[in-house]
């Protein structure tokens, strides 16, 4: 998206990709908000399924359903998605070089940078880093470190699906320390089943947790016994972002996972990555027009924060709240929501997978009404509120 936008604005753009083609190997669960397709001209050929709801499973095997009347997210072929976006960038005028991993960036005293790849060396006035969750290049250039989720996913067939238009989300510290697991229906008995664990909270490898989940997790037992795995892949997701400074004064911008643009609650970052890519392309164009490097790069960060900074801040605090709950407390939370469906109705009516903070104030108001109408709920609501306040620090 950054290459496309910069080329569209008339810049001479070089797009460097370490692999033989864009999108391969995949590192993504492949669930993308319908809003992304509404805001950007995205390739509809990559859509495999539409989902309109979610089934949440607690550690104690309690279940909550949240749904919408129409699909809110699409399940996509992420490899095809990336290839099509790369083609659009090339059609807009960008030059692409594949099998070219950027290994080093050098700075010139008079301005500009030298980018050294495995097959070329080129001098450029500005560099946009979109290297994903590994962040090796970004960290080598002094960009802030972030906590990392380690994810793994299996593409499976002959899975017993409860609903093909609902994703399933699994909780429990025993199986998913620091995050959660998922089942994403692709259709016709096919599903993507995976999980993330937080690196500093896990005792085993992601693959070991995946095998344990498929073998022992109650909501999946009996549903995957006859299923077979097509392939398994994984990736890293930086959370608790964004980085404090998304740019380097010598002419560098970081976008997407490289800048911590993923939601800490879900790990989703494609929509915000697309937004950041577009904003980075626009900033590169302003830099070329004015020659004011720091002003253009600072403007890029300000535009990102305005577009989705508040959302990243909200999901960072929400993740801290969730990670403070034990399995027993999470089960209590599920029971509380099941007993008071009015709160779930608010979540269904006002919830938004792309902008999760939108449900915060309506839920708070609904909870206050509930406590007023049913004082017996005050003790539990107060305890949850205290945990939320602790997470705000």
Domain harbouring 250, CATH code: 3.50.50.60
Do 335 and 374 lie in one domain? The reply is yes
Task: Single out the residue of 64, 61, 327 nearest to residue 177, CA to CA.
Answer: 327
CB 59 within 8 A of CB 117: no
Do 289 and 335 lie in one domain? The reply is no
Do 188 and 120 lie in one domain? The reply is yes
Give the 3-state secondary structure of 195-241.
Answer: EEEECCCCCCCHHHHHHHHHHHCCCCCCCCCCCEEEEEEEEEEECCC
Within a domain: residue 384?
yes
Distance CA 350, CA 330 (A): 22
Do 350 and 274 lie in one domain? The reply is no
CB 274 within 8 A of CB 262: no
Within a domain: residue 356?
yes
Do 351 and 213 lie in one domain? The reply is no
Within a domain: residue 71?
yes
Domain termination site, one of 278, 311, 344? 311
Higher-confidence residue: 393 or 285?
285
Instruction: Extract the tokens encoding 111.
Output: 């301005």
Higher-confidence residue: 136 or 347?
136
Do 294 and 328 lie in one domain? The reply is no
b (16+ CB within 10 A) / e for 317-335? bbbbbbeebeeeebbbbbe
- pLDDT score at 150: 97
- pLDDT score at 369: 84
Within a domain: residue 93?
yes
Do 208 and 347 lie in one domain? The reply is no
Using pLDDT thresholds of 50, 70 and 90, give the confidence band for residue 389.
Answer: low
- pLDDT score at 370: 81
Number of domains making up the chain: 2
Query: What number of other Cβ atoms are within 10 A of residue 166's Cβ?
Result: 19
- pLDDT score at 334: 92
Domain termination site, one of 265, 281, 311? 311
Distance CA 55, CA 72 (A): 14
Higher-confidence residue: 368 or 151?
151
Inform me whether the pLDDT recorded for 386 exceeds 70.
no
Do 355 and 282 lie in one domain? The reply is no
Please give the average per-residue pLDDT across 166-181, as a whole number.
97
pLDDT tens string 85-137: 999 999 999 999 999 999 999 999 888 999 999 889 999 999 999 999 999 99
Within a domain: residue 318?
no
Domain termination site, one of 257, 276, 311? 311
- pLDDT score at 35: 94
Distance CA 276, CA 149 (A): 21
126-135, 146-155, 377-386, range with the lowest pLDDT? 377-386
pLDDT tens string 61-70: 999 999 999 9
- Structural domain including 161 reads 2-311
Using pLDDT thresholds of 50, 70 and 90, give the confidence band for residue 392.
Answer: low
pTM of the model: 0.94
First CA to last CA distance, the chain: 35
Within a domain: residue 56?
yes
- pLDDT score at 344: 87
3-state class of 38 per DSSP?
helix
Please give the average per-residue pLDDT across 235-246, as a whole number.
97
- How many H helices and E strands in the chain? 12, 18
Please say whether the dihedral angle defined by the alpha carbons of residues 365, 368, 374 and 380, taken in this order, is positive or negative.
Answer: positive
The mean pLDDT value of the chain amounts to 93
Residue/partner pairs of 176-184 with CB below 8 Å, 24 or more apart: 176/209, 176/213, 177/201, 177/202, 177/203, 178/149, 178/202, 178/323, 179/149, 179/267, 181/213, 181/217, 182/29, 183/159, 183/220, 184/29, 184/30, 184/31, 184/51, 184/75
Return the axis-axis angle of helices 293-304 and 270-290, rounded to nearest 10°: 160
Inform me whether the pLDDT recorded for 391 exceeds 60.
no
Using pLDDT thresholds of 50, 70 and 90, give the confidence band for residue 387.
Answer: low
- pLDDT score at 381: 66
Do 383 and 240 lie in one domain? The reply is no
Do 143 and 292 lie in one domain? The reply is yes
Do 301 and 264 lie in one domain? The reply is yes
Inform me whether the pLDDT recorded for 378 exceeds 80.
no
Percent of the chain with pLDDT over 90: 81
Using pLDDT thresholds of 50, 70 and 90, give the confidence band for residue 390.
Answer: low
Do 89 and 168 lie in one domain? The reply is yes
117-121, 252-256, 347-351, 389-393, range with the lowest pLDDT? 389-393
Residue 257's H or E segment, with its range, is none
pLDDT tens string 1-60: 999 999 999 999 999 999 999 999 999 999 999 999 999 989 999 999 999 999 999 999
Within a domain: residue 292?
yes
Using pLDDT thresholds of 50, 70 and 90, give the confidence band for residue 188.
Answer: confident
Within a domain: residue 319?
no
Percent of the chain with pLDDT over 70: 96
- pLDDT score at 361: 85
Q: What is the chain's alpha carbon radius of gyration, rounded to the nearest angstrom?
A: 22
Distance CA 159, CA 229 (A): 10
Inform me whether the pLDDT recorded for 380 exceeds 60.
yes
Inform me whether the pLDDT recorded for 189 exceeds 80.
yes
């Amino acid at each position: 998206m950054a290459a496309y936008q910069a080329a569209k604005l008339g810049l001479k753009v070089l797009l460097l990709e370490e692999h033989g083609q864009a999108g391969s190997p995949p590192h993504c669960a492949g669930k993308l908000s319908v809003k992304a397709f509404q805001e950007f001209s995205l390739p509809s050929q990559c859509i495999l399924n539409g989902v309109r709801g979610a089934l949440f499973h607690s550690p104690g095997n309690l279940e909550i359903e949240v749904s919408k009347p129409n699909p809110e997210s699409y399940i996509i072929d992420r490899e095809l998605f990336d290839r099509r976006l790369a083609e659009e960038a090339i059609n807009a005028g960008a030059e692409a070089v594949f099998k070219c991993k950027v290994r080093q960036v050098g700075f010139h005293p008079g301005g500009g940078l030298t980018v050294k790849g495995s097959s070329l060396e080129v001098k450029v006035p500005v560099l946009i880093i979109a290297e994903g969750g590994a962040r090796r290049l970004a960290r080598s250039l002094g960009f802030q470190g972030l906590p990392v989720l380690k994810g793994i996913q299996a593409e499976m067939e002959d899975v017993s699906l409860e609903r093909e238009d609902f994703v399933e989300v699994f909780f429990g510290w025993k199986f998913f320390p620091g995050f959660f697991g998922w089942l994403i229906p692709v259709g016709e008995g096919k599903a993507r089943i995976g999980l993330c664990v937080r690196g500093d909270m896990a005792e085993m490898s992601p693959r070991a947790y995946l095998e344990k989940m498929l073998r022992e997790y109650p909501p999946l037992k009996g549903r995957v016994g006859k299923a077979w795995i097509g392939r398994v892949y994984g990736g890293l997701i930086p959370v608790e972002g964004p980085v404090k400074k998304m740019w380097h004064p010598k002419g560098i911008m970081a976008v997407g996972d490289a800048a911590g643009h993923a939601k800490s609650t879900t790990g989703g970052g494609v929509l915000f990555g697309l937004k950041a890519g577009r904003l980075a392309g626009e900033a590169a164009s302003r830099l070329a027009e004015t020659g004011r490097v720091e002003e253009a790069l600072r403007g890029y960060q300000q535009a990102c924060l305005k577009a989705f900074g508040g959302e990243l801040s909200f999901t960072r605090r929400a993740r801290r709240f969730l990670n403070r709950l034990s399995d027993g407390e999470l089960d209590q939370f599920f029971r509380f929501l099941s007993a008071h469906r009015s709160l779930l109705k608010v979540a269904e009516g006002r919830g938004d997978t792309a902008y999760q903070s939108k449900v915060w104030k309506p839920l708070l108001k609904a909870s206050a009404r509930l406590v007023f109408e049913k004082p017996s709920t005050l003790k539990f609501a107060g305890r949850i509120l205290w945990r939320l306040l602790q997470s705000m620090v």
